[in-house]
């Protein structure tokens, strides 16, 4: 009805952020049920609902509506990271540290150079690279290689929460996505510094690594402090804990942004501290799950609304090539890492499935590229969004199928549908 009214001249109809919020909750829930009926993750249904309702779908939501809902995204990331940290118990780390270390190293050492070489090989078909010398193209290719390494902690953790999966594959996925999210930051900063020096002539500053190390250390310290504060609040507050988690989520997010901390790392460490150093870990997990049901629907539906369908249509041959190449290299790198770690067969065979997804972190880094390298970065960011769109749709399905084949879904779950349970709720 909204779309029909907009077609009449002189009639200005705009739903607004509140309408968009309510619409996405309803549409996401419906499409989540349809996805479950089709034996797909509910998360896929949320994404499809956002794509159809977004500015490049049926335009029920416009660009301003999508931006206005970013406030919900901040809370969703806080809840996801808190639950992730709470899942990283000391026992889990003792069991998986070797697997996590080798998988992270193999993915970093294989995916970054191979994807950079592929980008350089295809650079002749990318018009936005015309005019750059060979050294500059190589520098941009390295940025692409680092972006290909990024994963989606949000998607991986949401699938684990939705399916309630438990087992070696789930534990492995949890450890690696958190570690890679930390490793990719210094790699990206170094690649950006080199590219900026090559393209704009600015000198490479070695001090950037010292600043990165300082920021990461400060993030860990802040997460520890916030974790103790959250535990204290859980001890004092016994009734309105959902409201408390919402307030803490937004408060820590704003403070971390102001102090330039890694927000995701801060919340992961906070959840880890509450679970392993206090007795309020189960209370934190229960409260976060109660809070996150509707929030997660809006978060992933909004991510779907951000998928650039025009860019995907224009760049689909190159985007498709990068999509398949990244998936193949992920499989190879994971197999190598698992064999070096002597992992159990189920992890060696299916350990790649959590790492196909890409989402907000990748798009955020692409935005930085667009700002720092305006001549090349905007076109590169468009290509990144096109590839992320493919990974965002395929990743949740592949990971859920991997968990099912690994036999790590609860006994009463024959597929990803389990009653009224939505992501985290």
CB 162, CB 80: distance < 8 Å: no
Of the segments 130-139, 161-170, 174-183, 333-342, which one has the largest average pLDDT value? 333-342
pLDDT of residue 416: 43
Average pLDDT estimate for 366-393: 76
Confidence of residue 360 (pLDDT cuts 50, 70, 90): low
Which DSSP state fits 88? -
Give tens-digit pLDDT for 274-329.
988 898 888 888 888 777 777 878 887 887 787 767 766 777 888 889 999 999 99
pLDDT of residue 420: 40
Give tens-digit pLDDT for 207-218.
666 777 787 888
Residue 405, CA distances (Å) to 172, 231, 232, 324 in order: 15, 37, 41, 22
- In the chain, the percentage of residues whose pLDDT exceeds 70 is 86
Element (H or E) spanning 71, and its range? helix 70-87
Of the segments 331-345, 351-365, 377-391, which one has the largest average pLDDT value? 331-345
Whole-angstrom distance, CA of residue 109 vs CA of residue 204: 23
pLDDT over 50 at 417, yes or no: no
Token pair in block for residue 130: 């015309």
- For helices 263-277 and 241-259, angle between their N-to-C axes, nearest 10 degrees: 130
- In the chain, the percentage of residues whose pLDDT exceeds 90 is 10
| Residue scoring higher pLDDT (247 or 364) | 247
Whole-angstrom distance, CA of residue 360 vs CA of residue 275: 26
**Radius of gyration of the chain, Cα coordinates, nearest whole angstrom:** 21
Whole-angstrom distance, CA of residue 170 vs CA of residue 271: 18
| Average pLDDT for the chain | 80
The full set of domains in the chain, from first to last, is 81-294+309-405 (1.20.1530.20)
pLDDT of residue 113: 93
Average pLDDT estimate for 389-397: 82
| Residue scoring higher pLDDT (103 or 376) | 103
| Residue scoring higher pLDDT (394 or 359) | 394
**CB proximity list for 365: less than 8 A, separation 6 or greater:** 147, 150, 184, 188
pLDDT of residue 424: 37
Q: Which of 243, 296, 279 is nearest to 81 (CA)?
A: 296
pLDDT of residue 414: 45
Say whether pTM exceeds 0.75: no
Name the CA dihedral angle for 386, 115, 171, 76, rounded to a multiple of 10 degrees.
-30
Average pLDDT estimate for 48-66: 83
pLDDT over 80 at 89, yes or no: no
DSSP helix/strand/coil, 381? helix
Of the segments 51-55, 96-100, 116-120, 241-245, which one has the largest average pLDDT value? 116-120
pLDDT of residue 415: 46
CB 370, CB 404: distance < 8 Å: no
**CB proximity list for 238: less than 8 A, separation 6 or greater:** none
């Amino acid at each position: 009805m909204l779309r029909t009214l907009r077609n009449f001249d002189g009639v200005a109809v705009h739903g607004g952020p509140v309408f968009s919020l309510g619409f996405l909750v309803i549409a996401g829930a419906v499409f989540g049920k349809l996805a479950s009926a089709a034996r797909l993750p509910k998360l896929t249904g949320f994404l499809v609902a956002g794509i159809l309702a977004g500015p490049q779908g049926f335009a029920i939501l416009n660009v301003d509506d999508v931006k206005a809902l970013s406030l919900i995204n901040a809370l969703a990331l806080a809840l996801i990271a808190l639950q992730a940290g709470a899942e990283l118990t000391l026992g889990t780390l003792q069991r998986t540290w070797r697997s996590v270390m080798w998988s992270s190293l193999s993915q970093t050492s294989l995916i970054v150079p191979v994807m950079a070489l592929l980008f350089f090989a295809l650079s002749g078909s990318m018009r936005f690279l015309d005019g750059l010398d060979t050294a500059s193209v190589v520098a941009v290719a390295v940025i692409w290689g680092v972006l290909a390494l990024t994963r989606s902690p949000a998607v991986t953790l949401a699938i684990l929460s939705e399916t309630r999966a438990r087992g070696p594959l789930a534990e492995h996925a949890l450890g690696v996505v958190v570690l890679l999210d930390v490793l990719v930051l210094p790699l990206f900063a170094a690649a950006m510094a080199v590219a900026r020096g090559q393209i704009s002539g600015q000198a490479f500053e070695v001090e950037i690594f010292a600043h990165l190390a300082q920021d990461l250390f400060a993030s860990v310290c802040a997460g520890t402090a916030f974790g103790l504060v959250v535990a204290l609040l859980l001890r004092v507050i016994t009734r309105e804990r959902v409201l408390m988690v919402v307030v803490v989520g937004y408060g820590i997010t704003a403070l971390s942004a102001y102090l330039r901390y890694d927000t995701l790392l801060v919340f992961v460490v906070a959840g880890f501290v509450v679970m392993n150093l206090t007795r309020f870990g189960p209370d934190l997990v229960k409260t976060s799950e109660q809070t996150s049901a509707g929030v997660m629907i809006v978060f992933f539906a909004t991510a779907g609304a951000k998928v650039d369908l025009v860019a995907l249509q224009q760049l689909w041959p190159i985007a498709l090539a990068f999509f398949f190449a990244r998936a193949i290299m992920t499989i190879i790198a994971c197999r190598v890492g698992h064999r070096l770690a002597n992992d159990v067969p189920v992890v060696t065979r299916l350990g790649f499935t959590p790492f196909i997804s890409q989402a907000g972190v990748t798009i955020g880094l692409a935005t930085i590229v667009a700002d720092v390298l305006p001549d090349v970065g905007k076109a590169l960011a468009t290509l990144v969004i096109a590839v992320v769109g493919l990974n965002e749709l395929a990743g949740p399905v592949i990971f859920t199928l991997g968990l099912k084949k690994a036999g790590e879904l609860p006994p009463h779950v024959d597929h990803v549908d389990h009653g009224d349970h939505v992501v985290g709720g």
